[in-house]
A and B are shown apart, each in its own frame.
Chain A
């Protein structure tokens, strides 16, 4: 564990070291943290990029498959010259161009029931950016079992939602969404700036939780609709019968 910033880190992070309640202590907390981001597409790409910029020490990325043209409206870590090649390689290259101090553990695989325990176990915090509810449920289950904070963010069309889960303290994903929604489809409309907007909010939740300041979205969900530029905040409740966290 690092106890001091290098002179290069002080120079790079100078402007955020001025942030009240964050400072050098917060920066060191980020430097010593590992964050799992699954996946690193339209939502996870901006998440990973902002985490890299903020100075998180290690990113664990899980994202299977090759770059496609239809990724490029929102998956900011992918480049057109990389179409047909692994997304995870493009993501790692772009992140380390921005932050060469960053350690990236890149997995060309999506989170599933078999690998979730190990991937979650290697991280201090998880940001759930996955499209498939099966992946989201697998990460949520492991986050609860291992008592790791997990930030749930999602987007659709011009809408997005976000909440921060501390197992045993707040509702978990399964408290709010107990089963795969029948209306959900793998491909859906979205403009990249919408996923970028909620991705940036997710990173601020991660920064606050890791550095221990501010007021994270605990037991609260923000939903916004950029079609009307309207934001709503809702109180969300733990389900005492939740199959995942009900016994905590």
Chain B
């Protein structure tokens, strides 16, 4: 069964990729880390630098939301068809 993941890019990530919404399709439900890796591959080096560290792991400073809830730090949940993943790069004042 096709698994479509809706992505929302915010902050510096939105600036880097030039869009706020995106979608990824997989053959089956995927883990969060796989979705982020696929997004990095799809959107190129600027996105990759923000999404993944040098070891290809999820950047520690990202704030990730699935649906309306934050993904607990360190967990890698399975995203089902239709899931919305919001990727927030922390922002500040000034």
Contacts and interface: CB of A to CB of B under 8 A. Distances in A.
A156 B69 contact: no
Contacts of A157: 11, 14-15
Contacts, number: 115
Interface string A158-183: 01110000000000000111111111
Q: What's the interface size class on B, roughly?
A: 20 to 34
B67 to A, nearest CB: 9
Given A234-B70, A235-B69, A41 B89 contact: no
B31 to A, nearest CB: 19
A223 B14 CA distance: 14
A241 B72 CA distance: 11
A176 B92 CA distance: 13
B10 A225 contact: yes
A18 interface: no
Interface in B23-50: 49-50
Interface stretch (A77-85, A123-131, A207-215): A123-131
Given A176-B70, A179-B60, A223 B93 contact: no
Contacts of B60: 178-179
Contacts of B11: 156-157, 159, 183
B70 A132 contact: no
A187 B69 CA distance: 30
A227 B9 CA distance: 13
Contact of A39 (B13, B68, B88, B93): B93
B93 A128 contact: yes
B63 interface: yes
A136 interface: yes
Contact of A235 (B10, B50, B68, B91): B68
A195 interface: yes
Among A41, A176, A234, the one with the most B-chain Cβ atoms within 10 Å of its Cβ is A234
A185 B49 CA distance: 14
Interface of A: 39, 41-44, 128-133, 136, 153-157, 159-161, 175-190, 195, 221, 223, 225, 227-228, 232-237, 239, 241
16 contacts: A39-B93, A39-B94, A131-B92, A131-B94, A133-B90, A154-B90, A155-B93, A159-B91, A179-B61, A181-B90, A183-B50, A183-B61, A187-B94, A233-B68, A234-B86, A235-B70
